[in-house]
Amino acid sequence: MSYFYIFTSLLIVSLVSFVGIFFISLRDNVLKKITIYLVSLSAGTLLGGSFIHLLPEVLSENNFQISILYWVLFGIIIFFILEKIICWRHCHIPTSENHPHPVGIMNLVGDAFHNFLDGILVAGAFMVNTQMGIATTIAVITHEIPQEIGDFGVLIHAGFNRTRALFYNFLSALSAMIGALVTIFLGKYVEDVNFYIISLAAGGFIYIATADLIPELKKEVKPFGSIAQLAVILIGIVIMAGLKMLFE
């Protein structure tokens, strides 16, 4: 039954790749305002997912072993390294329909690897219990929405037409299924693999929220905008807390 939950959740996550088409026609200033609050919500759900769901579960199941925290730290470092590897390459050849800018190709490759990791994290979470799987899926979805809006924009800028951009973005998103299959396979041969995955997931979520998302929010200096962002972050955390109470 957990396999059904895993692949249904990942299909929903993959379908988020189509969200960009609904926002591309918006004016830049409107899109920026919408996206920044989506980023705020994502930061809140990622932090809430880490500190309310993932870490308490993995620590309690492993009798609060200090080694778990080292795996969390390792997850933070791994996501930093992956970001450096994915973002290193640039090209200065003018973009066109017949020559998509390599930033688009690199974006697809990087996004495919990112989605592969999402598949690992979601599958590992469901292998622990349904509550953690749903919480992880929600955190991934809220993070994917602003990211997919940006990814779609990058592909359009790189010379892809809308149909190709949507198709390749969705194809990239499906790599999450491969990540889930790898996790399920490892689960049969590696003892307690899901708890190592959850520890790495917690570290990765913390890194994404604090190193990628919150720095974007800090660019807002107006009092009202800053307060609104904080409120949306708290909403994300409350959503995760409410989900925790719902399953208790």
As a whole number, the mean pLDDT across the chain is 83
**Nearest C-alpha neighbor of 227 from the set 235, 212, 32:** 235
Residue 224: C-alpha distances to residues 33, 86, 202 (Å):
13, 35, 31
Average pLDDT value for residue range 206-233: 87
In residues, how long is the chain?
248
Whole-model pTM above 0.75?
yes
Q: What is the mean pLDDT of residues 118-144?
A: 91
- What percent of the chain has a predicted confidence (pLDDT) above 70? 88
C-alpha separations of 199 from 93, 157, 203, 210, 242 in Å: 41, 37, 6, 17, 22
The yes-or-no verdict on residue 114 having pLDDT over 60 is yes
* 78 falls within a domain: yes
Question: What pLDDT, on the 0 to 100 scale, is given for residue 86?
Answer: 65
Who's near 154: CB < 8 A, 6+ residues apart? 103, 104, 107
Q: Looking at mean pLDDT, say which of 25-29, 43-47, 91-95 comes out highest.
A: 43-47
The rounded Cα 173 to chain-centroid distance in angstroms is 11
51 found inside a domain: yes
The pair phi, psi for residue 52, each rounded to 5°, is -100, -30
pLDDT score for 183: 92
Establish if 77 belongs to a structural domain: yes
Check: CB of residue 79 under 8 Å from CB of residue 206. no
Asked if the structure places residue 126 within a domain, the reply is yes
The tally of domains found in the chain comes to 1
Q: How confident is the model at residue 133 (pLDDT cuts 50, 70, 90)?
A: very high
Residue 181 pLDDT exceeds 90: yes
Has residue 240 got a pLDDT over 90? yes
The pLDDT confidence band at residue 87, using thresholds 50, 70 and 90, is low
Per-residue confidence (pLDDT) for residue 98, from 0 to 100: 56
pLDDT given at position 103: 65
Whether residue 9 lies inside any domain: the answer is no
In a domain, 18, yes or no: no
State residue 161's pLDDT score.
Answer: 82
Q: Is pLDDT of 89 > 50?
A: no
pLDDT average, residue stretch 189-217: 87
Longest dimension (CA), the chain: 57
Q: How far is CA 31 from CA 37, 99, 102, 174, 198, in A?
A: 10, 27, 25, 26, 33
29 HSE (CA, 13 A, CB side) = 0
Nearest to 57 by CA among 119, 129, 2, 117: 129
Residue 7 reports pLDDT greater than 90: yes
Q: Using an 8 Å Cβ cutoff, are 228 and 54 in contact?
A: no
Radius of gyration of the chain (CA): 18
Residue-level pLDDT at 100: 55
Render pLDDT for 152-171 as a digit per residue (tens, 0 to 9).
777 777 778 888 888 988 99
Domain that holds residue 155: 26-87+99-247
Query: Does some domain include residue 21?
Result: no
Position 1 in a domain: no
Across 111-119, average pLDDT:
87
Q: Are 6 and 133 in contact (CB under 8 A)?
A: yes
Of 4 and 99, more confident: 4
Q: How far apart (Å, rounded) are the C-alpha atoms in residues 209 and 198?
A: 16
pLDDT digits (tens, 9 = 90+) for 47-77: 999 999 998 888 877 666 777 888 899 999 9
Contact 157, 99 (CB under 8 A): no
Give the residue with greater pLDDT, 89 vs 222. 222
